[in-house]
């Protein structure tokens, strides 16, 4: 049986893992796919590294377009990253009638609509399991495993760096900056960690899952992002006292009038399995109307876990590229003519529970004023905790609300902050029960 020939564009961490696993498990993979899957050509700036990783049977070049234009290549694997050359490579591969596998979450979240439209015209598959949650086959679960369901929401811990930092802050009671420095030393955080800690990376992944869950185009520009760099260790401690953990959580939820799409530090009840996903691990919890809640857990990054997803896509294409292109698994789970135009809701319109921390003068009437403002704003209180703060005559008040609309909470907080008995800004975090 003729092998499937793969052209690798980019032989960095994931590209190296892909070449290594394809070689190591060649027999196992061929037994599953029905034919060998072989890297025939690889493009990399560092030719020596590519030669070392891929071995002497593979043609090594420094120009990715040479791979894409090689008529012997059946599937192009794009592992260059970014949205400039990577986008050109993917579009050219499609134009040349080649199937594409990519791990590029930014590319799919920002240019997926254009890429999938071109792929559909050409009858080729663009697969991207590795773009979300590394080795966890969550795209497959959402796109194929849960097709019976109206998906209600998806919630995910989908950035390992942030989860590592939050886990260390909680376990060791350290401040954000100290843990970040440690994470950088250990190689879990980049020298410039912005992309991870401010939620961009998680929002790219969430955008893709949202499109697949609800049958809407990818709309990364409408996602709301809030990172963990301003998170105070005090709130992690108070959250624990109340029975919650704080995670950088991506949440996308179907509401009647639109879709919520947001990444933010979020309280989750400690009793939920997902609240106990620690360190660099990832997990995604999906709520469907028929199945209820299902959870998918595993390593969200790393050479071989990500390669695991890249190769699963290669096997999928090998097995299924002969299916009628008009009806096989659609890129975004829903047939391209059947996408919905439900809008992404602005953050003001989201509905969730809230954790509020106020610093107040320790005197009679403060609580009455605060709870009156909340009640007037239609915000009902689920739990309250009053703590003696460090400074004399001041106290921390922690309030957990029931479901409320964000703009109503913001309006109430403006009034609370204007009270003479309240010191400074109120800390506001979102809280999800995920029940």
Between the alpha carbon of residue 75 and those of residues 15, 47, 146, the distances in Å are: 14, 21, 27
Whether residue 77 is annotated as binding a ligand: the answer is no
Whether residue 11 is annotated as binding a ligand: the answer is yes
Show contacts with a copy of itself in window 269-298 (CB under 8 A).
273, 276-277, 288-298
Q: In the bound complex, what is the minimum distance in angstroms from residue 157's beta carbon to a copy of itself?
A: 12
CA angle 24, 29, 31 (to 5 degrees): 125
Residue from 7, 227, 299, 377 in contact with a copy of itself (CB under 8 A): 299
Binding mask 150-169 toward a copy of itself (x if CB under 8 A, else -) reads x-------------------
Whether residue 251 is annotated as binding a ligand: the answer is no
Residue from 27, 113, 22, 114 nearest 75 by CA: 22
The nearer residue to a copy of itself, 4 or 413, going by C-beta atoms, is: 4
Show contacts with a copy of itself in window 29-88 (CB under 8 A).
29-35
Residues 188-199, buried b or exposed e (16+ Cβ, 10 A)?
Answer: bbeeebebbbbb
Q: Token digits for 1?
A: 């049986």
Whether residue 310 is annotated as binding a ligand: the answer is no
Q: In the bound complex, what is the minimum distance in angstroms from residue 368's beta carbon to a copy of itself?
A: 40
User: Which residues share a beta bridge with 261?
Assistant: 252
* Residue 205 known to be catalytic: yes
CB-CB contact of 42 with 58 (8 Å): yes
Does 16 bind a copy of itself (CB under 8 A)? Our answer is no
Show contacts with a copy of itself in window 95-134 (CB under 8 A).
129
Q: Token digits for 228?
A: 């963990």
Q: Where do the H-state alpha helices sit in 25-63?
A: 26-33, 47-54
Residue from 7, 10, 16, 137 in contact with a copy of itself (CB under 8 A): 137
CB atoms within 10 A of CB 393: 9
Q: In the bound complex, what is the minimum distance in angstroms from residue 300's beta carbon to a copy of itself?
A: 11
Residue from 164, 384, 170, 159 nearest 270 by CA: 170
Size of the site for a copy of itself (CB under 8 A): 68
Residue 225: CA count within 13 A, CB half-sphere: 20
Q: How far apart are CA 176 and CA 191, in angstroms?
A: 15
Q: In the bound complex, what is the minimum distance in angstroms from residue 288's beta carbon to a copy of itself?
A: 7
Whether residue 366 is annotated as binding a ligand: the answer is no
- Angle separating helix axes 160-172 and 176-186, nearest 10 degrees: 120
The catalytic position among 40, 87, 140, 205 is 205
Residue from 44, 210, 318, 352 in contact with a copy of itself (CB under 8 A): 318
CB-CB contact of 142 with 154 (8 Å): yes
Stretch touching a copy of itself by CB under 8 A, among 5-13, 25-33, 234-242, 403-411: 25-33
Annotated binding site: 9-16, 105, 190
Q: Which are the catalytic amino acids?
A: 205
User: Using CB under 8 A as the criterion, which residues of the chain lie in contact with a copy of itself when the complex forms?
Assistant: 17, 21-22, 24-25, 28-35, 129, 135-137, 140-141, 144-150, 215, 273, 276-277, 288-299, 304-305, 307-312, 315-316, 318-324, 326-330, 333-335, 338
């Amino acid at each position: 049986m003729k092998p499937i020939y793969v052209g690798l564009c980019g032989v960095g961490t994931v590209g190296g893992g892909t070449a290594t696993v394809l070689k190591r498990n060649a027999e196992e993979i061929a037994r599953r796919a029905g034919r060998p899957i072989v890297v025939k050509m690889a493009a990399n700036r560092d030719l020596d590294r590519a030669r070392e990783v891929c071995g002497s049977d593979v043609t090594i070049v420094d120009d990715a377009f040479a791979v894409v234009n090689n008529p012997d290549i059946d599937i192009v694997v794009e592992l260059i990253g970014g949205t400039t050359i990577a986008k050109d490579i993917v579009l050219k591969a499609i134009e040349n009638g080649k199937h594409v596998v990519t791990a590029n979450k930014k590319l799919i979240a920002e240019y997926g609509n254009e890429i999938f439209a071109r792929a559909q015209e050409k009858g080729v598959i663009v697969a991207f399991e590795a773009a979300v949650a590394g080795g966890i086959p969550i795209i497959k679960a959402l796109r194929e495993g849960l097709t019976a369901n109206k998906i209600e929401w998806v919630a995910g811990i989908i950035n390992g760096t942030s989860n590592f930092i939050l886990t260390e802050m909680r376990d060791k009671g350290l401040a954000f900056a100290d843990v970040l420095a440690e994470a950088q030393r250990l190689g879990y955080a980049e020298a410039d960690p912005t992309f991870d800690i401010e939620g961009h990376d998680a929002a790219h992944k969430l955008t893709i899952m949202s499109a697949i869950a609800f049958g809407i185009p990818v709309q990364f520009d409408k996602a709301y992002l809030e990172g963990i760099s301003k998170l105070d260790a005090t709130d992690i401690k108070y959250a624990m006292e109340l029975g919650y953990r704080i995670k950088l959580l991506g949440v996308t939820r179907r509401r009647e009038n639109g879709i919520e799409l947001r990444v933010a530090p979020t309280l989750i009840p400690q009793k939920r399995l997902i609240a106990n996903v620690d360190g660099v691990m990832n997990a995604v919890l999906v709520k469907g109307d028929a199945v209820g809640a299902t959870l998918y857990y595993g390593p969200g990054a790393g050479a071989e876990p990500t390669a695991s997803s890249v190769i699963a896509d290669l096997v999928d294409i090998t097995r299924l590229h002969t299916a009628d292109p008009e009806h096989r698994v659609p890129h975004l789970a829903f047939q391209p003519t059947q996408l919905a135009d439900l809008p992404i809701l602005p953050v003001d319109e989201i509905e969730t529970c809230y954790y509020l921390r106020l610093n107040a003068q320790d005197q009679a009437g403060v609580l009455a004023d605060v709870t009156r403002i909340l009640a007037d704003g239609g915000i009902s209180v689920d739990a309250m905790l009053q703590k003696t703060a460090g400074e004399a005559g001041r106290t921390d008040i922690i309030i957990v609300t029931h479901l409320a609309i964000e703009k109503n909470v913001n309006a109430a907080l403006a009034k609370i902050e204007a009270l003479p008995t309240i010191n400074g800004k109120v800390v506001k975090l979102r809280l999800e029960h995920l029940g």
